[in-house]
Chain A
Amino acid sequence: MSAPTNPIVQDHNGFVVELEQFSGPLDLLLHLIQEDELDITDLPIAKIADQFLAVIGELGLNQAADYLEMAARLLRIKAQMLLPRRVGDDEWEDPRAALVRRLLEYQQIRELVEWLGAAAARRAEQFGRGFAPAPPAAPPAPLVIDLNDLLAAAERVIALIPEPVLHRVVPRPLDVEGATARIEALLAEHEAFGWREVVGDRPTIVDMLSAFIALLELAKRGALSVRQDGPFAPIQIRRESPRAAG
């Protein structure tokens, strides 16, 4: 039993073809034509179509849509060549004409490829000084400056520095104990009273906070109850009878 062979290099007809060496179906077609020294202007289309199909079948080029499209084109031309035509029919156009034109055009490109490749190879034989890519724009000229200019510039920069804005943070301790004492005094005199009576007429924010915390604290202890009927409604404060312990 023989070892499995690589389908790419397997070869029935005496030629070995690899996909990578062709840049497309036109290239492959030209290769086949040149191989057999066929006349490009009078293509034996049946023969070339069969060979083309054989090659792409052998190579398993099933994915290469460009090659398949060319195969379909060749088969269509082959079929058109088989259609009967009347002798002396001036209207008949050679179905190969468009393909031949494309092939000739492509052959011309291949010839230019040779020329361009040779030119590039020839140019590559000469080195310039370094391979640094050209700078995108002229770099700025080297800076020329003396010490006085430098100091003057530094002064200008310093002058531009703005005065730092300092925020002083002053602790304003809440007087919860004072507020508690005031509320307890109110509780001793009244069964019920309002928020306004706790904080007075013109309370500061600190007074309000102190009173509020004191109020919550006393409510927690059970000394009073706090009630508010709705958002922003007046707060009602009522004395609670301290529950007997135990």
Chain B
Amino acid sequence: MSPLAQLVEAALFAAARPLAVEELLTLDPEAGAEAVQAALGEIREALARGEHGVELVAIGDGWQLLTRREYAEAIERAQFALRPRRLSPAALETLAIIAYRQPVGRVEVDEIRGVDSGAVIDKLLERGLIEIVTRGEGLGRPLLYGTTPQFLETLGLKDLEELPRLEELSVALRPPAPAEPE
């Protein structure tokens, strides 16, 4: 690997969080974005080729060294690391609505779910998966929520574009049409 690739690899190891290309640029003022991109490619290939236990993964707008999937169970059994707690169905429902409708207020989330979502929203805020983006128009200027980079990281997504398109779902919702007479 090139010296720059080795430097970037060391930085990714040290950071223990996804690092964006712009952040990696500060390592070496001489190196441009293209060189850093190339270095990332080198690391990725080297890890894939060299029979390593970790791999380079794109998460959010950054890159992170992560253990390979096949070792998750053994690592967890030995209690070297634990998987984060699973999100409850209520939390996932709320996240799905916020991800697709952001910025969206609590009333709309309640309406779609058919239940009060205040407590779930508070929990998601606490876990940093959503944030208050702005305030809406209308009565009381309600708080509007959107997803955070932490949301992408938790789901291992590069960006929101990776979420399934609504048309791809088996229940594609047509725009509300007047009900057909019998």
Task: Please report A residues at the B interface, Cβ cutoff 8 Å.
Answer: 23-27, 66, 70, 89-90, 92-94, 96-97, 101-102, 104-113, 115-117, 119-132, 134
Among A23, A24, A25, A122, the most chain B Cβ lie within 10 Å of the Cβ of: A23
Task: Please report B residues at the A interface, Cβ cutoff 8 Å.
Answer: 13, 16-17, 57, 59, 64-69, 72, 75, 81-84, 86-87, 89-90, 92-93, 95-97, 99-100, 112-116, 153-157, 163-164, 166, 169-173, 176, 178-182
A66–B166 contact, CB under 8 A?
A: no
B83–A124 contact, CB under 8 A?
A: yes
Contact status of A111 and B154, CB under 8 A, knowing A106-B113, A117-B87, A129-B16 = no
Count of A-B contacts judged by CB separation below 8 Å? 125
CA distance A106 to B117 in the complex (A): 14
In the complex, besides A23-B90, A128-B16, 19 extra interface pairs with C-beta distance below 8 angstroms are A24-B114, A26-B113, A94-B179, A94-B180, A96-B179, A106-B112, A109-B113, A112-B92, A116-B96, A119-B155, A119-B156, A120-B154, A122-B69, A123-B154, A124-B83, A124-B84, A127-B75, A127-B81, A128-B64
Give the residues in chain B near A117, CB-CB below 8 Å: 86-87, 89, 92
Which residue from B96, B163, B171, B182 sits with its C-beta under 8 Å from A94? B182
Q: List 30 A-B contacts (CB under 8 A).
A: A23-B89, A23-B113, A66-B116, A94-B179, A96-B179, A104-B173, A106-B112, A106-B113, A108-B171, A108-B172, A109-B96, A109-B113, A111-B171, A112-B96, A112-B164, A116-B95, A120-B86, A122-B156, A125-B72, A125-B83, A126-B67, A126-B69, A127-B72, A127-B75, A128-B17, A128-B66, A129-B65, A130-B16, A131-B82, A132-B16
B67–A123 contact, CB under 8 A?
A: no
B68–A25 contact, CB under 8 A?
A: no
The DSSP consensus for interface residues of chain A is helix
A108–B173 contact, CB under 8 A?
A: yes
CA distance A79 to B6 in the complex (A): 73
B155–A126 contact, CB under 8 A?
A: no
Ranked 3 nearest A-B pairs via Cβ: A123-B156, A97-B179, A24-B115
What residue of chain A has the Cβ atom nearest to residue B120's Cβ? A23
CA distance A126 to B154 in the complex (A): 11
Which residue from B66, B115, B157, B170 sits with its C-beta under 8 Å from A23? B115
B176–A101 contact, CB under 8 A?
A: yes
CA distance A134 to B64 in the complex (A): 13
Instruction: Report the minimal beta-carbon distance from A77 to chain B, rounded to whole angstroms.
Output: 12
B16–A113 contact, CB under 8 A?
A: no
Among B67, B113, B172, B176, the most chain A Cβ lie within 10 Å of the Cβ of: B113
A102–B93 contact, CB under 8 A?
A: no
CA distance A122 to B83 in the complex (A): 10
CA distance A96 to B179 in the complex (A): 9
A24–B169 contact, CB under 8 A?
A: no
Give the residues in chain B near A113, CB-CB below 8 Å: 89, 92-93, 96
Among B69, B75, B100, B181, the most chain A Cβ lie within 10 Å of the Cβ of: B181
Give the residues in chain A near B181, CB-CB below 8 Å: 89-90, 92, 94
Contact status of A106 and B114, CB under 8 A, knowing A111-B171, A127-B67, A128-B66 = yes
What residue of chain B has the Cβ atom nearest to residue A64's Cβ? B115
What residue of chain B has the Cβ atom nearest to residue A113's Cβ? B92
Which residue from A27, A111, A125, A132 sits with its C-beta under 8 Å from B169? A111
A127–B66 contact, CB under 8 A?
A: yes
B17–A134 contact, CB under 8 A?
A: yes
What residue of chain B has the Cβ atom nearest to residue A131's Cβ? B81
What residue of chain B has the Cβ atom nearest to residue A42's Cβ? B182
B113–A93 contact, CB under 8 A?
A: no
Contact status of A119 and B157, CB under 8 A, knowing A104-B173, A128-B17 = yes
Which residue from A111, A119, A122 sits with its C-beta under 8 Å from B170? A111
Give the residues in chain B near A27, CB-CB below 8 Å: 114
Among B65, B92, B114, B178, the most chain A Cβ lie within 10 Å of the Cβ of: B114
